[in-house]
């Protein structure tokens, strides 16, 4: 079976608002107030909790930034878990595209660098977990993206041949994962990560999820 594997944050859903809120709760606990901005720092949010904490510590001029990041990372995860879907929204027509792909005979799965338990909680909360045959998170295996093995394992668990898949993502991490795996990559142009997705030279760019089934058909023909 051919499979279509999706990144989660910034690809299927804009999760940046809730991630920034969790990080800012940590900074408020330090007495610093809200250090990160939900709009201008959205791209950093999609690179994970440690990236947000590191950015905030740098802005605060913390001399022991690495130690503080380690200390507050569990605090951030708990804050995020407790308010995981306040601002998060699925992108328009994303799930319609997923269902269309399934009707056409593709397996679908999610390969994310979000911890698996948090990814599962979020997908359940959004009401879409059952739409995906497989979910691999940052801590499911001993390696994470851009290592290709999480992508391969997601394809396997979705019932597919790992060499006959396409990765839908929003970042250089996803591009590098697909390149290492030797499979096509489609990068969305509407995610908070911003930047010039075309410069990463994916096999295709996605501006609207309504176009995804056709793009996948052409890449996996």
Paired tokens of 48: 């994970």
Is the distance from CB of 181 to CB of 174 less than 8 angstroms?
no
Using CA of residue 145, residue 146, residue 150, residue 152, what is the dihedral sign?
positive
Of residues 32, 8, 159, 163, the one with CA closest to residue 88: 8
Distance, in Å, from the CA atom of 80 to the CA atom of 78, rounded to the nearest integer, reads 5
41 is catalytic: no
Q: Give strand ranges (E) for the chain.
A: 3-6, 13-14, 89-90, 107-111, 134-136, 165-169, 185-188, 204-206
Got the DSSP string for 11-40?
Answer: TTEE-HHHHHHHHHHHHHHTT----S-TTT
Distance, in Å, from the CA atom of 212 to the CA atom of 168, rounded to the nearest integer, reads 9
> Rounded to a whole number, what is the distance in angstroms from the first to the last CA of the chain?
12
- Which residue among the candidates 7, 14, 18, 174 is catalytic per the annotation? 7
Regarding beta strands 107-111 and 185-188, do their DSSP bridges make them parallel or antiparallel, or are they unpaired?
unpaired
Paired tokens of 47: 């690179």
Catalytic positions: 7
């Amino acid at each position: 079976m051919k499979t279509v594997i999706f990144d989660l944050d910034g690809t299927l859903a804009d999760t940046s608002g809730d991630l920034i809120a969790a990080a800012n709760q940590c900074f408020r606990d330090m007495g610093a107030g809200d250090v990160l901005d939900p709009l201008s720092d959205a791209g950093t949010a999609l690179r994970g909790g440690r990236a947000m904490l590191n950015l905030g510590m740098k802005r605060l001029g913390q001399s022991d930034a690495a130690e503080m990041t380690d200390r507050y990372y569990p605090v951030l995860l708990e804050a995020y878990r407790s308010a995981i879907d306040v601002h998060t929204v699925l992108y328009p027509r994303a799930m319609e595209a997923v269902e269309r792909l399934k009707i056409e005979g593709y397996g679908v799965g999610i390969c994310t660098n979000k911890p698996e338990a948090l990814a599962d909680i979020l997908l359940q909360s959004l009401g879409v977990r059952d739409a995906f045959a497989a979910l691999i998170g940052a801590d499911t295996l001993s390696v994470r993206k851009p290592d290709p093995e999480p992508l391969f394992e997601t394809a396997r668990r979705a019932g597919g041949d790992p060499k006959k898949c396409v990765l839908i993502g929003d970042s250089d991490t996803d591009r590098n994962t697909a390149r290492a795996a030797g499979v096509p990559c489609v990068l969305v142009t509407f995610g908070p990560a911003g930047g010039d997705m075309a410069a990463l030279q994916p096999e295709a760019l996605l501006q609207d999820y309504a176009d995804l089934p056709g793009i996948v058909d052409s890449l996996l023909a």
